């Protein structure tokens, strides 16, 4: 890989130990994947924030960098934490966990990272443009920015996104290049998709089969950004899909050649089978919505359905603090609270220690959450459409 004189000097340690180490990681990745040079990136999204996810090794790693005065060079947003950073005491978060989580947040903040604590930076103030080079981790946000916006990022791991944030560059390979963004498998959808959960189920079933390839969807008649978010998130969880194209819905779809591609079909029965396959529980202890974090439209929909109702079981709606502010202002939060639910900011069901909070069976409307909850959170799962889930828990 070609390095500029300034870049060579970073490697020789002239800009300090942290930058040297982080830049070396980027050079190694560039060499492996055949990058010709480094390219500037405009923004970063850093994953690996919850104490539950990164543990003590992660805390030490981040505090070491913060102590050595590492500072990000570009707008950098942060993934969800393991708890609501401001209201954690009200949510029964174990104290030892909270202390470690707050140390992690301080370390990120010291590095100049916006402690946005959301997996949907594009709904909370970090919105890239079409064809912009960025370095994001968070598999669902990668899928959304590449596919729905048409920005360009590889599937960065938490530390490689941090490296790009600190160095302001990323190696030029993979999805930064036109030739690697081509469709690789054709997916014909005959299934009727209505609820957001249907898109999650579609994503789960397709991700499982296409693994790390780039799918091209035909037959999705319409979808809003919440539904495309659900689709991409599930595909990135059951598989490693970083980019998808959907005919008439995503910005690069019309550039794609689909002749001769291997073909996959998804019918109604595949969607129904996915719901039943991922549902391992019967009666929910809690309903958790918002994986990825809910948009204001999703919160509005939930609030309208809960108006005047009483919940028999706890219900969380997870979102970013920025979106919750708007929900508060519009009274959606209050409506959900009147019914007995909570609008939880900064965190979600996957990265919070729900298994230590007495919950055994969690109901979700997210294909991504249904994928992670059984293993990582030791939960039985009920995966269903919003109305079905609310019916189970309202009087």
Q: For residue 43, give both structure tokens.
A: 């923004």
- Token match 């370390």: residue? 107
Q: Phi first, then psi: what are they for 181, rounded to 5°?
A: -105, 10
Q: Return the number of the residue (158 or 341) whose C-beta is nearest another protein.
A: 158
Q: Identify which of residues 205 and 350 has a Cβ nearer to another protein in the complex.
A: 350
The nearer residue to another protein, 60 or 178, going by C-beta atoms, is 60
CA–CA dist 249, 254 (Å, integer): 9
Q: Does 32 bind another protein (CB under 8 A)?
A: yes
**Would you count residue 116 as binding another protein (CB under 8 A)?**
no
Residue from 82, 121, 128, 158 binding another protein (CB under 8 A): 158
Q: Is 21 exposed, middle or buried (0-12, 13-18, 19+ CB in 10 A)?
A: middle
Q: In degrees, to the nearest 5, what angle opens at C-alpha 389 toward C-alphas 362 and 365?
A: 65
Cβ proximity of 189 and 215 under 8 Å: no
Give min distance, CB of 208 to another protein, in A. 9
Binding span for another protein by CB under 8 A among 185-193, 196-204, 325-333, 366-374: 366-374
CA angle 267, 217, 145 (to 5 degrees): 130
φ, ψ (nearest 5 deg) of residue 57: -60, -35
Residue choice 76, 116, 120, 139 for contact with another protein (CB under 8 A): 139
Residues 160-219 that bind another protein (CB under 8 A): 160-161, 174, 207, 211-212
3-state class (DSSP) for residue 52: helix
Q: Does position 240 bind another protein by CB under 8 A?
A: yes
Do 125 and 116 contact (CB within 8 A), yes or no? yes
Residue choice 6, 12, 375, 395 for contact with another protein (CB under 8 A): 375
**CB nearer another protein, residue 60 or residue 391:** 60
For another protein, the closer CB: 111 or 327 = 111
Q: Is 72 in the site for another protein (CB under 8 A)?
A: no
Distance (Å, rounded) from C-alpha 242 to C-alpha 245? 11
User: First and final CA of the chain: distance in angstroms?
Assistant: 63
Which range in 50-58, 294-302, 325-333, 358-366 contacts another protein by CB under 8 A? 50-58
Nearer Cβ to another protein (149/373): 373
Q: Among residues 280 and 394, whose Cβ is nearest to another protein?
A: 280
Site for another protein in 322-351 (CB under 8 A): 350
The nearer residue to another protein, 50 or 365, going by C-beta atoms, is: 50
Q: Which of 222, 208, 202, 201 is nearest to 365 (CA)?
A: 201
Read off the tokens for 287: 């309903």
Tell me the number of residues near another protein by CB under 8 A. 43
Binding segment toward another protein, per CB under 8 A, in 47-55, 259-267, 305-313, 337-345: 47-55
Q: Are 140 and 3 in contact (CB under 8 A)?
A: no
| Smallest separation, CB 283 to another protein (Å) | 19
Among 44, 47, 70, 165, indicate the residue that binds another protein (CB under 8 A): 47
Q: How far is CA 332 from CA 6, 76, 114, 325, in A?
A: 51, 29, 26, 10
Closest by CA position to 202, among listed 114, 102, 261, 274? 274
Stretch 267-286 residues interacting with another protein (CB under 8 A): 280
Contact with another protein (CB under 8 A) among 146, 227, 238, 294: 238
Q: What is 351-374 written as a DSSP string?
A: TS-GGGGT--EEEES-HHHHHHHH
Q: How many other CB atoms sit within 10 Å of the CB of residue 73?
A: 16
Helix/strand/coil for 76: strand
Closer CB to another protein, residue 196 or residue 379? 379
Q: Looking at 157, 168, 251, 340, which residue binds another protein (CB under 8 A)?
A: 157
Contact region with another protein (CB under 8 A), list: 138-146, 176-184, 305-313, 321-329 = 138-146
Q: Which residues bind another protein (CB under 8 A)?
A: 25, 28-29, 32-33, 47-48, 53-58, 61, 79, 137-139, 142, 154-161, 174, 207, 211-212, 236-240, 280, 350, 371-372, 374-376
């Amino acid at each position: 890989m070609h390095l500029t004189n300034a870049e060579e000097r970073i490697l020789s340690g002239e800009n300090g130990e942290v930058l040297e180490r982080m830049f070396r990681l980027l050079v190694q990745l560039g060499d492996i994947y055949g990058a010709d040079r480094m390219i500037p990136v405009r923004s970063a999204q850093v994953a690996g924030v919850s104490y539950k996810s990164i543990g003590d090794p992660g805390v030490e790693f981040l505090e070491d960098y913060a102590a050595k005065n590492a500072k990000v060079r570009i707008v950098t947003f942060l993934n969800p934490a393991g708890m609501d950073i401001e209201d954690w005491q009200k949510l029964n978060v174990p104290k030892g966990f909270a202390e470690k989580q707050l140390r992690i947040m301080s370390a990120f903040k010291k590095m100049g990272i916006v402690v946005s604590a959301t997996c949907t930076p594009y709904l909370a103030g970090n919105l890239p443009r079409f064809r912009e080079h960025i370095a994001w981790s968070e598999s669902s946000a990668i899928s959304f920015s590449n596919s729905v916006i048409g920005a360009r990022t590889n599937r960065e791991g938490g530390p490689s996104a941090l490296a790009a944030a600190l160095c302001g560059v990323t190696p030029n390979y993979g999805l930064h290049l036109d030739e690697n963004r081509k469709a690789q498998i054709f997916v014909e959808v005959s299934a009727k998709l209505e609820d957001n959960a249907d898109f999650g189920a579609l994503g789960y079933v397709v991700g499982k089969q296409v693994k790390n390839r780039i799918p091209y969807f035909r037959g999705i008649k319409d979808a809003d950004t919440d539904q495309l978010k659900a689709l991409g998130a599930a595909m990135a969880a059951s598989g490693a899909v970083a980019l998808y194209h959907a005919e008439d819905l995503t910005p690069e779809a019309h550039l794609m050649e689909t002749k001769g591609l291997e073909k996959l079909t998804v019918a109604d029965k595949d969607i129904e089978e996915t719901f039943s396959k991922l549902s391992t529980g019967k009666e929910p202890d809690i309903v958790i919505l918002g994986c990825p974090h809910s948009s204001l439209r999703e919160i509005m929909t939930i609030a309208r359905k809960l108006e005047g109702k009483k919940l028999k079981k706890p219900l969380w709606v997870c979102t970013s603090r920025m979106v919750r502010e708007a929900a508060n202002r519009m009274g959606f939060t209050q409506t959900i609270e009147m019914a007995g639910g909570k609008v939880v900011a900064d965190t979600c069901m996957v990265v919070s220690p729900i298994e230590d909070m007495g919950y055994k069976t969690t109901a979700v409307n997210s294909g991504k959450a249904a994928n992670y909850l059984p293993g990582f959170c030791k939960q039985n799962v009920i995966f269903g459409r919003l109305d079905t889930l609310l019916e189970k828990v309202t009087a």
